[in-house]
Amino acid sequence: MTDIHLSEQQAQQYAEHPSGHHNSLDDHLQTCVHCQDLVASYRALFQAVAALPPPALSFDLSAQVAGQLPVAPRRIPWAAMLAGLLVLGFVAVALGFFWPYLGRVLAGVGTTIPLTLLVGAALVVFGHGLGSIMAHRRQLLALASF
Ligand SMILES: [Zn+2]
């Protein structure tokens, strides 16, 4: 047994986590009425605080905070749209230019390779679309949790 009483912090920790590792405290607590009362008072205090109803504000805090947040301007990604149009135009011109040759090349290849490429491209587009939708849903859920 130690002659030193528990500190306020030790008594709080013991009251909050009585099954924790307090070997040196256990010995003292078994014999010291002063520290037993201190732990019991903190235990009663923690139970009383836990029984309190959650605080209710008389005003809508989320509306006030949301009203002060800066609103991001809706921007149309013109540069990305222009780049996409340029790429599509390039692909269309290239297809038009090489169309007579593509027919002969693809006729010799069969349908397996073009079909595999088409399915692969479709899977990539589907994966990106699904990823975008999931990211959008996560953002909405994060915003809704405020
Ligand atoms: Zn004591």
Residue 2: pLDDT band by 50, 70, 90 thresholds?
low
Statement to judge: residues 34 and 82 lie in one domain: no
Residue 39 in contact with residue 15, Cβ under 8 Å? yes
Whether 69 is in a domain gets the answer no
- Averaged pLDDT score across all residues of the chain: 87
Whether 67 is in a domain gets the answer no
Whether 130 is in a domain gets the answer yes
Q: How far is the CA of 10 from the centre of ligand 1 (A)?
A: 11
CA-CA-CA-CA dihedral for 33, 37, 39, 41, to nearest 10: 180
Statement to judge: residues 40 and 83 lie in one domain: no
Domain range for 120: 77-144
CA-CA-CA-CA dihedral for 73, 78, 84, 86, to nearest 10: -170
Q: How far is the CA of 37 from the centre of ligand 1 (A)?
A: 9
User: Model's pTM, two decimal places?
Assistant: 0.40
- Taking the C-alpha atoms of residue 88 and residue 93, their distance in angstroms, rounded to an integer, is 9
Whether 24 is in a domain gets the answer yes
Statement to judge: residues 82 and 138 lie in one domain: yes
Statement to judge: residues 41 and 84 lie in one domain: no
Mean pLDDT over residues 18-32, rounded? 81
Whether 72 is in a domain gets the answer no
Whether 45 is in a domain gets the answer yes
Whether 70 is in a domain gets the answer no
Statement to judge: residues 81 and 46 lie in one domain: no
Total number of domains in the chain: 2
Residue 5 in contact with residue 12, Cβ under 8 Å? no
What is the predicted pLDDT for the residue at 9? Answer: 93
Task: Of 1-10, 16-25, 58-67, give the lowest mean pLDDT range.
Answer: 16-25
Q: How far is the CA of 11 from the centre of ligand 1 (A)?
A: 10
Residue type, 3: D
Q: How far is the CA of 49 from the centre of ligand 1 (A)?
A: 25
Tens digits of residue pLDDT in 101-142? 877 777 777 778 878 899 999 999 999 999 999 999 998 888
Q: How far is the CA of 19 from the centre of ligand 1 (A)?
A: 18
7 compared with 58, residue with greater pLDDT:
7
